[in-house]
Amino acid sequence: MVTTSDRVSYHHGDLRNALLATATELAQAGGPAAVQLREAARRIGVSPSAAYRHFVDQADLLTAVATGVLNELAARMRAAMAGVHTTAFPRLDALARFRAVGLAYVDFAWTQPGLFRTAYASGVSLPDGTETAGPDPSALIGNPYGILADVLDEMADTGVLPRDRRRHAEVAAWSGVHGLSMLVLDGALRGVADDPQELVDATLEMIGIGLCAPTALGAHAPAPPGG
């Protein structure tokens, strides 16, 4: 498709965005390992070293891709949330939104495995948007973690989620959904169920019950007999 030289002018004009877009395509097709400076430059028709005018590193490029992907994921989660219409039953609404957000997360992971893996390959932190060792805490606008927190807030406000269990609810919920996505992506659950939808339903139900059910059973947890 690209004939290695359909660029006329010496200067590209928007190379940074072009690299980012191409690198994202690479990530989509082959995951984080496929995000290579040389390949991206080659596809654009530019020399490899040109990339270093816009990214300090290959890791830097990867982080930029990851941030973009997290924004996209957040957008889908928010869209799914907005798709649940408000009714006269605020508690059911909150639960429905929670479910919708979870489904959107898993759906993204499974339909875009390359992008999903890339999102977590570089060390971008969800809660605050800070990178593991990067100076740019701002680029993350639509934070997936924040959306989840919003839904959980709604659940707590309406009363489906007991106040005293609100505290670490996002960690527990996120863990369930993220773990499910990862395990299926890694093929760790191959052969367990023919229909992956069953797995999502079972997991989301477990999370919902685990967060909201009366904690009568929880009494045993702090002191298990055997140590």
Partner DNA sequence: GAGTGATGTGAACGTCGTCAACATGACAGC
Partner DNA sequence: GCTGTCATGTTGACGACGTTCACATCACTC
Which entry of its own copies, DNA, none binds 117, CB below 5 to 8 A by partner kind? none
Contacts of 17 (CB under 8 A, 6+ apart): none
3-state secondary structure of 169: helix
> For residues 131 and 170, which CB has a smaller minimum distance to DNA in the complex?
131
Stretch 167-226 residues interacting with DNA (CB under 7 A): none
Q: Residues 123, 136, 137, 197: which binds its own copies (CB under 8 A)?
A: 123
100 binds, among DNA, its own copies, none (CB under 5 to 8 A by kind): its own copies
148 binds, among its own copies, DNA, none (CB under 5 to 8 A by kind): none
Interface mask (CB under 8 A) for its own copies, residues 94-113, using x and -? -xxx-xx-------------
Among its own copies, DNA, none, partner that 69 touches (CB below 5 to 8 angstroms by kind): none
Give, as ranges, the residues between 145 and 204 that touch its own copies (CB under 8 A): 145, 165, 167-180, 182-183, 186-193, 198-199, 201-204
What residues between 20 and 39 interact with DNA by CB under 7 A? Answer: 35-39
**Residue 163 touches which member of DNA, its own copies, none, C-beta under 5-8 Å by kind:** none
Taking a C-beta distance cutoff of 8 angstroms, is the pair 54, 15 a contact? yes
Binding mask 58-97 toward DNA (x if CB under 7 A, else -) reads xx--------------------------------------
60 vs 170, beta carbon nearer DNA? 60
Looking at the DSSP assignment, which residues form a beta bridge with residue 131? Answer: 124
Helix (H, G, I), strand (E, B) or coil at 124: strand
SS3 state of residue 177: helix
Q: 198, 184 in Cβ contact below 8 A?
A: no
- The yes or no reply on residue 4 touching DNA (CB under 7 A) is no
Q: Quick one: tokens of 133? A: 């060792």
In what helix (H) or strand (E) does residue 35 lie, and over which residues does it extend? none
Radius of gyration of the chain (CA): 21
Helix axis angle, 15-30 to 58-82, nearest 10°: 70
Residue carrying the six token digits 């907005």: 82
